[in-house]
Amino acid sequence: MSTLSAGLDALHVYRQLRVLREFEDQMHAAIARGNVPGFTHLYAGEEASAVGLCAHLRATDILCSTHRAHGHYLAKGGDLEALALEIHGKEGGCCGGKGGTMHVADWSCGMWGANSIIGASVPHALGAAFAFRYRGEDGVAVSFGGDGASNQGAGFEAMNLAKVLNLPVLFVLEDNGYAETTAAGWACAGRPVDRAAGFGIPGVEVDGTDVVDVWTKLGEGVRLARAGQGPSFFHVRVPLFHGHYEGDPETYRAPGEVKRLREEADCLKKFRARILGAGQADATALDRIDGECAARVAAALAKAQAAPFPAPATLTTDVYAKA
């Protein structure tokens, strides 16, 4: 095992970051070729947030995601092929190919689901945390939400109740600077991290371009929650490398903004430099990981392209959960 910081498996984390990035970049190309159905939101640029946090989670912990869910699912231990099949609407997808990109869910790894309702993940995670407490289990629940979602009232109710009941939940705000075309600086009053103090919850600012910062700070949140010390809130600043949705003309972004972010705020580039600087691995070893990840993703997408759609006879199955 390679370690940069005690307990952090650097090469495992690097590999995960790379798989998430490859998946979204190869999806971007496939969507441009017209090969993918649905309305897709890519996570490229934000990977350190999910990977740094999920390194501390168990399969039985619960993650409540957003419309930008691919990376959350993979980081939580989701299956690459099942994700590719699901997004393509194909048989064998994690929801039988009937959910698609915005409904990726897989209870076998604690992925309670992508969610197209902005902010809905927050009360869902509260409910999961309540269930853990009610059953006397030491599970942890996490909600991811964007800067736009952070202004939804249901989130504030959930934070209040989480503190009142001292529940094991992490509220993670992934601030990529925009809610669709609206700048976060325009739409969010005050500093989002300060809102946590209003509920007596620890609020922590996190550099989402630095996976070690995420791993360290959110890891402490997981530790506190699991130890019965209640909720925490994290404001993780991340860049967004593609548009809000695939096909977005991105007219609201400054010329050269994405290019600059890719050069200066890329979690993969930064972590790679850090691994090399610490002598944890050499460039050849990291290049080999890059190649392996790219090939795995390409194979998963090719399989998804070639797979059959669900049989028409299954249209009305899986509509309700079976007891």
Ligand X SMILES: Cc1ncc(C[n+]2csc(CCOP(=O)(O)OP(=O)(O)O)c2C)c(N)n1
Residues engaged in binding ligand X (CB under 6 A): 41, 67-68, 116-118, 146-149, 176, 178-180, 244
- Which residue, 116 or 305, has its beta carbon nearer to Mg ion? 116
Q: Does 61 bind Mg ion (CB under 5 A)?
A: no
Q: Would you say 46 or 86 has its CB closer to Mg ion?
A: 46
Q: Residue 110 or 192: which CB sits closer to ligand X? A: 192
Closest distance of CB 244 from ligand X, Å = 5
Between residues 132 and 241, which has the closer beta carbon with respect to ligand X?
A: 241
* Residue 16 partner contact from ligand X, Mg ion, none using kind-dependent CB cut-offs of 5 to 8 Å: none
Least separation, in Å, of the C-beta of 258 and ligand X?
Answer: 14
Out of 52, 146, 208, 243, point to the residue binding Mg ion (CB under 5 A): 146
Q: In whole angstroms, what is the distance from residue 85 CA to residue 97 CA?
A: 6
Residue 21's binding partner among Mg ion, ligand X, none (Cβ under 5 to 8 angstroms by kind) is none
Determine the Cα–Cα distance for residues 90 and 225; give it in Å rounded to an integer. Answer: 37
Q: One-letter amino acid identity for 259?
A: K
Q: How far is the CB of 119 from Mg ion (least distance, A)?
A: 12
Q: Of all residues in this chain, which one has the CB nearest to ligand X in the complex?
A: 146
Give CA–CA dist 164/203, Å, rounded: 16
Q: H helices within the chain, ranges in order?
A: 10-32, 47-54, 70-75, 80-87, 121-135, 153-164, 184-187, 192-195, 211-226, 257-264, 267-278, 283-306
Alpha carbon 21 to chain centroid distance? 12
Cα–chain center distance at 113: 11
- The DSSP output letter for 209 is T
Among 147, 210, 213, 266, binds Mg ion (CB under 5 A): 147
What is the number of alpha carbons within 13 Å of residue 169 lying toward its C-beta?
A: 31
162 φ, ψ (degrees, to nearest 5): -60, -40
Give the whole-angstrom CA distance, residue 304 versus residue 97: 10
Q: Would you say 136 or 249 has its CB closer to Mg ion?
A: 249
From the list Mg ion, ligand X, none, which binds 244 (C-beta under 5 to 8 Å, kind-based)? ligand X
Instruction: Verify binding: residue 79, Mg ion, rule CB under 5 A.
Output: no
Burial class for 76, CB neighbours closer than 10 Å (0-12, 13-18, 19+): buried
With CA atoms as reference, report the closest residue to 298 among 136, 35, 80. Answer: 80
Q: Between 71 and 77, whose beta carbon lies closer to ligand X?
A: 71
**DSSP 8-state code for residue 67:** S
CB count in 10 Å sphere of residue 143: 31
46 binds Mg ion (CB under 5 A): no
Q: Hey, which residues between 171 and 190 contact Mg ion (CB under 5 A)? A: 176, 178-179
Q: Is 113 in the site for Mg ion (CB under 5 A)?
A: no
Using the rule CB under 5 A, give the single segment among 15-23, 123-131, 168-176, 216-224 that binds Mg ion.
168-176
Shorter beta-carbon distance to ligand X: residue 168 or 192: 192
- Residue 116 Cβ vs ligand X, minimum distance, rounded to whole Å: 5
In the complex, minimum distance from the CB of residue 244 to Mg ion, in angstroms, rounded to a whole number: 8
